[in-house]
Amino acid sequence: MTPPIVAVVGGGQLARMMAPAATELGVILRVLVESPAAAAASPAHETVVGMPSDPDAVRALLAQPRPDVLTWEHEHIPAEVFEAAEAAGVPALPGLGALRFAQDKIDMRRRMDELGLPNPEWAPVATEADVARFLADHGGEAVLKTARGGYDGKGVRVIRDAGEAADWLEAAAAGGPRVLIEAKVPYTRELAAMAARRPSGEVVTWPVVESIQRDGVCSEVIAPAPRLTDVEADEARAVAARVATELGVVGVLAVEMFDTGEHVLINELAMRPHNSGHWTQDGSVTSQFEQHLRAVLDLPLGSTEPLAPVTVMANVLGGAREDLPAALGDITDPGAKIHLYGKDVRAGRKVGHVNVVGADVDDVHRRAVEAAAIVRDGGAA
Amino acid sequence: MTPPIVAVVGGGQLARMMAPAATELGVILRVLVESPAAAAASPAHETVVGMPSDPDAVRALLAQPRPDVLTWEHEHIPAEVFEAAEAAGVPALPGLGALRFAQDKIDMRRRMDELGLPNPEWAPVATEADVARFLADHGGEAVLKTARGGYDGKGVRVIRDAGEAADWLEAAAAGGPRVLIEAKVPYTRELAAMAARRPSGEVVTWPVVESIQRDGVCSEVIAPAPRLTDVEADEARAVAARVATELGVVGVLAVEMFDTGEHVLINELAMRPHNSGHWTQDGSVTSQFEQHLRAVLDLPLGSTEPLAPVTVMANVLGGAREDLPAALGDITDPGAKIHLYGKDVRAGRKVGHVNVVGADVDDVHRRAVEAAAIVRDGGAA
């Protein structure tokens, strides 16, 4: 018995939730966690404590017995980690060639344009004059973004005046992340299409989901997205598959999209298991976490068939309840599948989620939101 | 955050498969494993290495931070473990009052008779004359069993002559396990009904399954059992629920049954997650492993609804392939859910299983058996 070893950089909930899948597959999960209290620390089969910027920690992560592959639960991977993996002869997947399109929104937009994939109108901006010109051409309102470092609504700002871009432009001029501007798309909702690809080329996609955002953070996900036409669903899945193939992604890819009512436009890319895919843990034959492990190990990919007509995921953001495990006793809906991340509660921090499967979208949606509210606050929504 | 801690005695696949459920619930699983190479060793969140007969190991299992509950993955628990748990103030569940009916087949048969539950005809036997009398009254053929210590066909023997009982009767007279004899039931197949009960009294049951045995070992499980009448299904579920309640079982209970074509008769009891329930990992809203944790922690029990019209589980018994993880690359059926136990292969040893969900029982059955054969032997069935 020589079980495959998958090394993972990052000790958050995404690495944590790879562990159950690894256990069932008989795969050993070795995780680089920032502290022994990290979300992934206790579920991982082996842990190394340290930061990805610490060469000793990375060396321990890649030590004998050598991992079969090195992967990530986030995109903020120092180049030194890739160099160390290369020196150790361990494939690092998704590779830098793909990952930079998830790290840098300017690189991503350029590449999507080159591929003829559906981008909103956009431009890189270096000066307030650039910003003013774009605003004038796009109705006086647009979305300013830093090319790197943003997540959950950070690094994104809706502006109506070039002066509102001053701080980020100054930071960029001083060597900080570059800045881009995008047309404010008149979208009706946000969708996400998820794909997985293995090195030998096989690509699969899951049903397209609707992602409901509150204050810039994903609140609920409905799978499949209600009232989506077959044309739009096929278009969205084809975009995800094409991005995975053209960029050479290995692992799970999430393509966040705007639904204009007639078409989809690409919003962001993530090359890892993603909040949009948590529903797959209870609602799909293969979860995104198992699929990510299969993909990076170049194993045959699992079925993405749904297990129910509808699955709804509701995030639990930090709220009134601090002792989250106590919520387990308060949720009496027998179909509420609770996933807790073992994190200390801070206001607004993602600390868990709930999945519910069923037949009626409104009923399932209501139940998922109610259960998440009980976890968060200790009372019904 | 004070996560609940569940201590488990036993480092086999049943403890191993509690770990993924514990991770998702935010529960810490502390497992007493017989060796660092045990199936449950790497997936457990905390491990103690030692035997349940070792007081130091049991003390470490019950050490601070104190587990909320102590439970088992098998029934062979020395009384000293219960005493240690009591002294430490840790509930031991299922308790000795219930567990002895899973440990001792004579106690179990007596109790089932007292409750008016459907037993085959049976008798305790101490002498060859007892055996000869029972054989004469039951057509010259019967099933001899040791009251304790049997599993997977061990401790069970079909006999036609009292002399065939001599060795076990001698062992019993010398202080070994007592012996009982049962009428050979003309059954058409074996069924299993699984229930879960929490201390506060709530009981749930899963759909009744058919268990296909080969050489006395469970080979496949079909959920739900095909062609079962509603009357029989209700009867079997009611038996499981009644056994759970009357015996005060806490946790998951499996009642193995004979199907006579018209009625069910109780064969054996197991008070823990059971091979008959592995299908629930991929085919039910709540797996037996999550349910066992919920039950022993006295949490609301999860839904036992199936996720598909049919689920088939096929065991992988040790065969030609020694490097089981290599099987992950050979199984190209995207719906085959593979569960490996991280064990060294020995002929006939349970080393993994495969679940397949779908709509057509014959198709799903064939696919599960084929995938299990590929894991076992490295080739199609």
Strand partners, B194: B254
Best to test chain A binding among B328, B332, B364 (most A CBs inside 10 Å): B328
Q: Give the closest-approach CA distance of A373 to chain B in angstroms.
A: 16
- Specify whether the CB–CB gap between B156 and B164 falls below 8 A: no
Question: Residue B151: pLDDT band by 50, 70, 90 thresholds?
Answer: low
The pLDDT score that the predictor gives to residue A151 is 65
Strand partners, B272: none
Q: How far apart are CA A375 and CA A339, in angstroms?
A: 10
For the cut 70, the answer to whether the pLDDT of residue B153 exceeds it is no
Which residues of chain B neighbour A25 with C-beta distances below 8 Å?
Answer: 328, 338, 340
Q: Which CATH architecture fits A189-377?
A: 2-Layer Sandwich (3.30)
pLDDT tens column, A215-263: 888 999 999 999 999 999 999 999 999 999 999 999 999 999 999 988 9
Q: How far apart are CA A239 and CA A242, in angstroms?
A: 5
Q: Give the closest-approach CA distance of B377 to chain A in angstroms.
A: 15
The pLDDT score that the predictor gives to residue B216 is 80
pLDDT tens column, A301-339: 999 999 999 999 999 999 999 999 999 999 999 999 999
Instruction: Give binding residues of B for ATP as ranges.
Output: 105, 145, 182-185, 190, 267-268
Helix (H) or strand (E) holding B5: strand B5-9
Task: Domain ranges for chain A, please list them.
Answer: 5-92, 121-183, 189-377
Q: Give the closest-approach CA distance of A189 to chain B in angstroms.
A: 29
Indicate the SS3 state at residue A364.
helix
For the cut 70, the answer to whether the pLDDT of residue A280 exceeds it is yes
To which residue do tokens 């006295």 refer? Answer: B298
Instruction: Give binding residues of A for ATP as ranges.
Output: 105, 145, 182-185, 190, 267-268
Helix (H) or strand (E) holding B29: strand B28-33
For the cut 80, the answer to whether the pLDDT of residue A380 exceeds it is no
Question: Residue B381: pLDDT band by 50, 70, 90 thresholds?
Answer: very low
Q: How far apart are CA A196 and CA B115, in angstroms?
A: 55
Cβ contact (<8 Å) for A338 and B28? no
For the cut 50, the answer to whether the pLDDT of residue A381 exceeds it is no
Cβ contact (<8 Å) for B325 and A2? yes
- Which CATH number applies to A121-183? 3.30.1490.20
pLDDT tens column, A351-360: 999 999 999 9
Nearest residue of chain A to residue B341 (CA atoms): A26
Q: Give the closest-approach CA distance of B283 to chain A in angstroms.
A: 9
Question: Residue B2: pLDDT band by 50, 70, 90 thresholds?
Answer: confident
Cβ contact (<8 Å) for A20 and B16? no
Give the number of other CB atoms < 10 A from CB of residue B39. Answer: 27
Instruction: Report the b/e string of B180-189 with b at 16+ CB within 10 A.
Output: bbbbbbebeb
Helix (H) or strand (E) holding A288: helix A288-296
* Partner residue opposite B24 with nearest CB, options A20, A204, A325: A20
Q: How far apart are CA B304 and CA B296, in angstroms?
A: 17
Which residues of chain B neighbour A308 with C-beta distances below 8 Å?
Answer: 307
Q: Give the closest-approach CA distance of A106 to chain B in angstroms.
A: 36
Cβ contact (<8 Å) for B338 and A24? yes
CATH class of A5-92: alpha beta
Q: Give the closest-approach CA distance of A41 to chain B in angstroms.
A: 9
Phi-psi group of B175: left, alpha or beta (phi > 0 → left; psi -120 to 50 → alpha; rest → beta): left
Nearest alpha-carbon partner for A354 in A255, A281, A285, A258: A281
Question: Residue B154: pLDDT band by 50, 70, 90 thresholds?
Answer: confident
Could you tell me how many CB contacts below 8 A there are between chain A and chain B? 149
The pLDDT score that the predictor gives to residue A379 is 63
Average pLDDT along chain A: 95
Which residues of chain A neighbour B325 with C-beta distances below 8 Å?
Answer: 1-4, 26-27
* Partner residue opposite A332 with nearest CB, options B21, B28, B300: B300
* Partner residue opposite B43 with nearest CB, options A23, A204, A352: A23
To which residue do tokens 């995938």 refer? Answer: B371
Average pLDDT along chain B: 95
For the cut 70, the answer to whether the pLDDT of residue B264 exceeds it is yes
Write out the two tokens for B324.
Answer: 């089981």
Cβ contact (<8 Å) for B1 and A345? yes
Q: How far apart are the first and last CA of chain B?
A: 49
Cβ contact (<8 Å) for B42 and A43? no
Cβ contact (<8 Å) for A24 and B281? yes
Using CB atoms within 10 A of its CB, is residue A343 exposed (0-12), middle (13-18) or buried (19+)?
Answer: buried
pLDDT tens column, B19-47: 999 999 999 999 999 999 999 999 999 99
To which residue do tokens 């037993």 refer? Answer: B119
* Partner residue opposite B323 with nearest CB, options A1, A45, A300: A1
The pLDDT score that the predictor gives to residue B351 is 97
Which residues of chain A neighbour B335 with C-beta distances below 8 Å?
Answer: 285, 302-303, 305
Q: How far apart are CA A54 and CA A64, in angstroms?
A: 18
Best to test chain B binding among A17, A287, A328 (most B CBs inside 10 Å): A328
Helix (H) or strand (E) holding B107: helix B105-114
Task: List Cα–Cα distances, B252 to B61, B110, B128, B248, B277, in angstroms.
Answer: 22, 22, 37, 11, 9
The pLDDT score that the predictor gives to residue B149 is 81
Cβ contact (<8 Å) for A325 and B1? yes
Q: What angle do CA A367, B208, B159 make, to 5 degrees?
A: 155
3-state secondary structure B276-337: HHCCHHHHECCCHHHHHHHHHCCCCCCCCCECCCEEEEEEEECCCCCCHHHHHHHCCCCCCE
3-state secondary structure B240-252: HHHHHHHCCCCEE
The pLDDT score that the predictor gives to residue A176 is 93
What residues have CB less than 8 Å from B354, skipping those under 6 apart?
Answer: B313, B314, B316, B331, B336, B337, B338, B339, B368, B371, B372, B375
